[in-house]
A and B are shown apart, each in its own frame.
Chain A
Amino acid sequence: MTHVNVSRREFLKTGATAGASLMIGFHFLALTTSHRLSPSTAVVFKPNAWLEISPDGSVTIWTGRSEMGQGVRTAMPMIVAEELEADWRRVRVMQGDADPAYGDQVTVGSRSTRSGWEPLRKAGAAGREMLISAAALIWSVPREQCRARSGAVEHPASGRTLGYGALVARAATLPVPENPPLKSPADFRILGTRVPRVDTPDKVTGRAGYGLDVRVPGMMHAAVARCPVFGGKVKSFDPAPALAVPGVKQVVQIGGGSGVAIVAENTWLAFQGKRVLKVEWDEGATAQWSNDGISTAFKAAAEKPGQSVRAVGDVDAALQGAASTVEAVYQAPYLAHACMEPMNCTAHVSGGRCEIWAPTQSPQGVQREAARVTGLPVSSITVHVTYLGGGFGRRGGPVDYATEAVELAQQLDTPVQVVWTREDDIQNGLYRPATYNVLRAGLDAAGRPVAWSHRLVGPDGASFMITRGADELIYAIPNFRLERVVQDPGIPIAPWRGVGPSQNGWVVESFVDELAHAAGQDAVAFRRALVAEKPRLVAVLNLAAQQAGWGSPAPEGRSRGIALWQFGETSVCEVAEVSVGTDGGVRVHRVVCAADCGIVVNPDTVEAQLQGAIVYGLTAALYGEIVIERGRVVQSNFHDYRMLKLAEMPAIEVSLVKSEAVPGGVGEAGLPPIAPAVCNAIFAATGKRIRKLPIGRIA
């Protein structure tokens, strides 16, 4: 085997200056992008949008949700296949286009399994019941004597069997039952098992097709120059230097003046054209904002009462009468999603139709946006969904990447792919909001919290982005108030993995730890008493504490911290084992995660999602900060927006509580507790409270 002795950077640099073009042809489109549901000419059994069985017995299951690494492309079909009693080895998965037949396709909020659970089971069960009926009719036996098992219908009394393929023609003539009986979880043979992910083989052989890989005949490639200050507009631009680059074809303004697109024969030339384009920007109001000013403005805004989001009892009176009070201010920064695949979208507007290929979490959102931009009816707009090189909320909406591509496509005859660089992504993106949080709590003489007041200052935005997770605590505290104060510097925001809970989890669970400490109580015991009425939370708390060895001494030089959270219906508890070096460097050695997410569809995927969310949240806690300077983002790439590397990875141990409850969703649940667990461990190690993220070095 040849020894690799040229670094990637050297290879790419040499290739470019030698004039070599890195054109790699893929015929992946047929393999991995989505297709529209079209009426089949052959006789197939297709009782609903989700499944199709051919006369040869092969089963096609369609998925309407986007695959961004969370395993939905495997998990959703597993649900259909289980109830259908399909032979999983004969199942092929296809990605559906934007289509109302799939219901709501937006892939956000850890909702896919939760919201798909009932409809997908019914879809599979309907198919199964029709196949049983078909066999019973063919055999002239009562259908109660027949049963479906792994791709065939059996009649045990006579020993007869018919594979699904042989039943297709007859089943296709039968009415579709509206409320077919569902299997008992005790009879599950696919669900709950470690089914290998259907996308893994493509992803380890380079065959997986992402948005950036889309190649359509005659397409052009585009880069967009955007004002470095958010909200800025084009004042004037000189396209001549860009047009002078051979291969650059057009330079057009888009977005009502928010950007200038450089259209070229390939992406590299589009980037070269953008580099030399001359643009004068009207920077706008956001240019006045820098990090220090934002903090100062947040702090000043916190001096005044805000709008009450939720209030229980009488917080002010309870604080007055409390035996002791604790106060703290917590500050969380703006964060970027930093998906590994930068934003991109391919669009073609022609002849009264619009066709789009995108790595999107919201194909129907893209469809609606394209309808708005073009004025075309939604029915004339096709959206194909590729694999996503990471989503994390960035691609769920607003669908800015699609707006740009469609606006540009309208001005061109050809299809066009708009590609963002990593720098574009980090500096012209949408962010997890920064917040400033004033916490006050009162404890009674026994150390129980009797009052909790939270004043949350942050940008304008929907409640799930700003206040969720801070609005309703899992803890029984009789007097509670959450107030909201809006202070908006004009940095655009979007949901970021975990959303409101991504910052509120840290705020709440760190402050709860402060209360436990003030009460002189153990962090686990303190929480256990406050969730005594909630057995699922008690169970994960106890399991994590037990697995982590809480109560027994930590290994030499290490300290432990704990955090407990409920994300939707999923309960999760994490214990972090941390050491702090003499140089103040924080090292997370081990994370124990106990979770109850209801019925587990695929335990392998659930573990991977919990591990992944922990890494995503830990990276943010240790290093994550988007710094604003004169309305611009300072960071630009992974050299200054630091990522956790393999060498810094803690050992993560996941334990799942066995449950019969409806699936609770796991894509995000592991994230809210990790920052507070680590910060609480740092407190145990050093006596220092982390009240401002990122953690960085401990002074």
Chain B
Amino acid sequence: HPVQRAWIAEDVPQCGYCQSGQVMAAAALLAVNRRPTDAQIDQAMTNICRCGTYQRIRQAIHRAAQEV
């Protein structure tokens, strides 16, 4: 899936425990919004990441959006 490929390209996960949820949430977002803005990503991505990978999550969503 483009989201998984983007996650790998950006090396998003650290401990990875939240990442299944992050990937699912990102895929759901891109399914309804092919080119989300930062503000739309803010609103949709409410999953908590304790390791603080948020910046890379955002980058990876933008990256995946270009592929979808």
A interface residues with partner B (beta carbon < 8 Å): 1-4, 8, 68-71, 194, 196-197, 199-206, 208, 210, 338-341, 387-392, 604-605, 608, 611-616, 619, 638, 643-647, 649, 651-652
Contacts and interface: CB of A to CB of B under 8 A. Distances in A.
A382 B18 CA distance: 29
24 contacts: A4-B24, A69-B13, A69-B51, A196-B11, A202-B16, A203-B16, A339-B15, A340-B15, A340-B18, A340-B50, A387-B15, A387-B16, A390-B15, A390-B17, A392-B50, A604-B11, A608-B11, A611-B53, A611-B55, A644-B54, A646-B45, A646-B47, A646-B49, A652-B55
The prevalent SS among residues of A at the interface is loop
Contact of A200 (B13, B17, B20): B13
Interface centre among B12, B53, B54, B56 (most CB of A within 10 A): B54
Contacts of B53: 608, 611-612
A612 B14 CA distance: 9
Given A646-B57, A646-B58, A652-B55, A338 B50 contact: yes
Contacts of B47: 646
A1 B31 contact: yes
Contact of B13 (A203, A645, A646): A203
A389 B55 contact: no
Interface centre among B42, B51, B52, B55 (most CB of A within 10 A): B52
Contacts of B51: 69, 340, 390, 612, 615-616
B11 A197 contact: yes
Given A69-B15, A205-B4, A612-B53, 18 more contacts: A2-B31, A4-B28, A200-B12, A204-B23, A338-B50, A339-B50, A388-B15, A605-B11, A612-B14, A612-B51, A612-B52, A613-B52, A643-B48, A646-B47, A646-B49, A649-B52, A649-B54, A651-B55
Contacts of B46: 645-647
A571 B12 CA distance: 25
A646 B54 contact: yes
A613 B53 CA distance: 10
B43 A647 contact: yes
A2 B43 CA distance: 20
Interface residues of B, number: 37
B45 A616 contact: no
A689 B44 CA distance: 35
A611 B15 CA distance: 14
Given A203-B16, A340-B17, A615 B4 contact: no
Nearest to B16: A203
B55 to A, nearest CB: 6
A433 to B, nearest CB: 20
Contact of B54 (A196, A197, A615): A615
A608 B18 contact: no
Nearest to B48: A643
B42 to A, nearest CB: 4
